[in-house]
C-alpha cells in the first residue's frame, strides 16, 4: 500500500521538475530536481542513488514536470504502463512475469500481424520447441567437451582434476552467448547467479531449458515492451562518468543533488482554508443583520448555515455589504 504524504502546493508552485520516489516500504518521497539529465539523492534514511531524467515518461502536476521512480531503479516509471504490464500478467495467468514471458509476448504480437490469430500461438510453441532442441544439443556438446578436456588433463598430469560448477557454467554460458543462443542480459544474469552460488550447474541447465517453454497466450503491448527495455537499460560508462563529475565538480555536490520538497503549509490546512473561507463568508453574510444587532446591543446571532440561504436572498446582499460593494 502506498503512503501519500505529499506537499501538493509546493509541487504545484515549483519552478523545477519534481521526482516522486517510491520506496520499498511504499512511501512516496518528493524531491526537487535541480540538475539536468542525471541527479543524485543522498541523506535519506530509506534510500539513496543516481537517477536519470527521461522525458518519454514525464507526467505533469499542473505545469510542473513530474518523474516517478521505484527507489531501486535508475530510470523513471510510467504508472499507466505499469498497470498495462499488470494486466498482461493477469490475462496470461502468470504468477510472476519472467524475461521469457516478455520475449514470448513480444514475438506473439509480431506473429499475429503475419498470420491468423489461431495460428500464432502454435507457431510460437513450435519455435520454442525448436530452440529447446538446439539448446539441449549444444549443452550436451559442451558438457562432452568439458569431460574430454578433464580426461586429457588427468592423463597428462596423472592425477585427479576437478572442474567446479562455476567453471563449467562459465564455459557453457560463453559458448551460448557466442552462438547468440542467449543475449547479453541473460549472460550477465546467469553468470551473477552462479558467482553468488544461487545455482548449481544442473539448475542452470534447467533454467536454460525453461526459457523456451511458452506460458503466454496474449501478446505484449509494444509501448510496454519499450518501457521495460528503458527501465532496465543502464549505461555503465555514463553512470561512472557522472560519479566522477560529482567528485570533481567545481559547483559542488549540492548542485547535482535533488533536494527534498518541504511543505510550508500542510495539505490539510490548505484544504481547510480553500473550503473554510467561502463557507465562513456565506455564514457571516447570511447573518449580517443579526451581527449588526449584536454590535448595537439589540439582539443576538441565530446562525444560518449555507444550505439554508438558497431561498432567502441573504447571501449576495450580505456579501456585498460585507465587502463594501
Question: H-helix or E-strand containing 82?
Answer: helix 79-91
Confidence of residue 220 (pLDDT cuts 50, 70, 90): very high
Tell me phi and psi for residue 65, to 5 degrees. Answer: -65, 135
Q: In angstroms, rounded to a whole number, what is the distance separating the alpha carbons of residues 127 and 125?
A: 5
Q: Is the pTM value of this prediction over 0.75? A: no
Reply yes or no on whether the pLDDT at 279 is more than 60. Answer: no
pLDDT digits (tens, 9 = 90+) for 28-69: 888 888 877 776 676 566 667 778 888 899 988 888 899 988
Mean pLDDT of 84-99: 90
Q: In angstroms, rounded to a whole number, what is the distance separating the alpha carbons of residues 217 and 105?
A: 8
Mean pLDDT of 178-182: 89
Reply yes or no on whether the pLDDT at 243 is more than 70. Answer: no
Which residues lie closer than 8 Å to 268 by C-beta, 6 or more apart? none
Is the distance from CB of 34 to CB of 16 less than 8 angstroms? yes
Q: In angstroms, rounded to a whole number, what is the distance separating the alpha carbons of residues 21 and 68?
A: 6
Tell me which of 59-63, 178-182, 226-230, 286-290 is least confident. Answer: 286-290
* Class of residue 182 by CB neighbours under 10 A (exposed 0-12, middle 13-18, buried 19+): buried
Q: In angstroms, rounded to a whole number, what is the distance separating the alpha carbons of residues 218 and 313?
A: 62
Nearest 5°: the CA angle 47, 188, 144 is 150
Residues in the chain, overall count = 325
Confidence of residue 1 (pLDDT cuts 50, 70, 90): very low
pLDDT digits (tens, 9 = 90+) for 93-141: 998 888 899 999 999 999 999 999 899 999 999 999 999 999 989 988 9
Residue 58, classed as helix, strand or coil, is coil
HSE-up of residue 177 (Cα within 13 Å, Cβ side) = 15
Mean pLDDT of 262-289: 51
Closest residue by Cα to residue 132 from 194, 93, 176 = 176
Confidence of residue 320 (pLDDT cuts 50, 70, 90): very low
* Class of residue 211 by CB neighbours under 10 A (exposed 0-12, middle 13-18, buried 19+): buried
pLDDT at 28: 83
- Going from N- to C-terminal start, the domains of the chain cover 8-75+234-260, 81-231, 267-323
251: region left, alpha or beta (phi > 0 left; psi from -120 to 50 alpha): alpha
Other C-beta atoms closer than 10 Å to the C-beta of 272 total 11
What angle do helix axes 201-210 and 165-178 make, rounded to 10 degrees?
Answer: 30
18: region left, alpha or beta (phi > 0 left; psi from -120 to 50 alpha): beta
Q: How far apart are the first and last CA of the chain?
A: 51
pLDDT at 259: 73
Is the distance from CB of 180 to CB of 163 less than 8 angstroms? no
Residue 4, classed as helix, strand or coil, is coil
pLDDT at 272: 52
Amino acid at each position: 500500500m502506498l503512503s501519500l504524504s505529499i506537499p501538493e502546493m509546493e509541487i504545484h508552485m515549483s519552478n523545477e521538475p519534481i521526482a516522486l520516489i517510491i520506496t520499498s516500504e511504499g512511501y512516496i518521497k518528493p524531491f526537487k530536481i535541480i540538475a539536468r539529465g542525471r541527479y543524485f539523492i543522498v541523506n535519506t534514511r530509506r534510500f539513496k542513488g543516481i537517477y536519470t531524467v527521461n522525458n518519454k515518461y514525464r507526467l505533469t502536476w499542473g505545469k510542473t514536470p513530474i518523474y516517478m521512480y521505484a527507489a531501486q531503479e535508475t530510470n523513471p516509471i510510467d504508472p499507466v504502463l505499469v498497470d498495462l504490464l499488470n494486466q498482461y500478467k493477469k490475462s496470461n495467468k502468470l504468477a510472476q512475469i519472467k524475461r521469457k514471458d516478455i520475449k514470448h509476448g513480444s514475438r506473439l504480437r509480431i506473429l499475429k500481424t503475419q498470420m491468423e490469430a489461431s495460428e500464432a500461438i502454435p507457431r510460437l510453441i513450435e519455435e520454442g520447441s525448436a530452440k529447446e532442441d538446439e539448446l539441449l544439443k549444444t549443452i550436451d556438446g559442451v558438457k562432452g567437451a568439458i569431460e574430454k578436456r578433464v580426461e586429457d588433463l588427468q592423463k597428462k598430469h596423472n592425477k585427479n582434476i576437478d572442474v567446479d560448477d562455476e567453471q563449467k557454467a562459465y564455459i557453457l554460458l560463453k559458448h551460448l552467448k557466442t552462438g547468440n543462443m542467449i543475449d547479453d542480459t541473460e549472460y550477465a544474469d546467469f553468470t551473477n547467479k552462479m558467482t553468488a552460488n544461487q545455482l548449481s550447474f544442473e539448475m542452470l541447465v534447467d533454467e536454460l531449458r525453461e526459457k523456451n517453454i511458452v506460458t503466454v497466450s496474449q501478446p505484449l503491448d509494444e509501448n510496454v515492451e519499450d518501457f521495460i527495455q528503458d527501465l532496465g537499460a543502464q549505461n555503465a560508462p555514463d553512470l561512472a562518468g557522472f560519479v566522477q563529475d560529482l567528485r570533481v565538480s567545481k559547483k559542488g555536490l549540492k548542485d547535482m543533488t535533488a533536494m527534498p520538497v518541504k511543505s510550508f503549509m500542510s495539505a490539510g490546512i490548505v484544504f481547510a482554508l480553500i473550503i473554510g473561507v467561502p463557507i465562513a463568508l456565506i455564514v457571516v453574510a447570511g447573518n449580517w443583520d443579526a451581527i449588526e444587532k449584536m454590535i448595537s446591543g439589540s439582539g443576538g446571532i441565530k446562525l444560518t448555515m449555507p444550505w439554508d440561504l438558497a431561498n432567502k436572498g441573504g447571501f449576495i446582499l450580505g456579501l456585498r455589504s460585507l465587502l463594501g460593494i
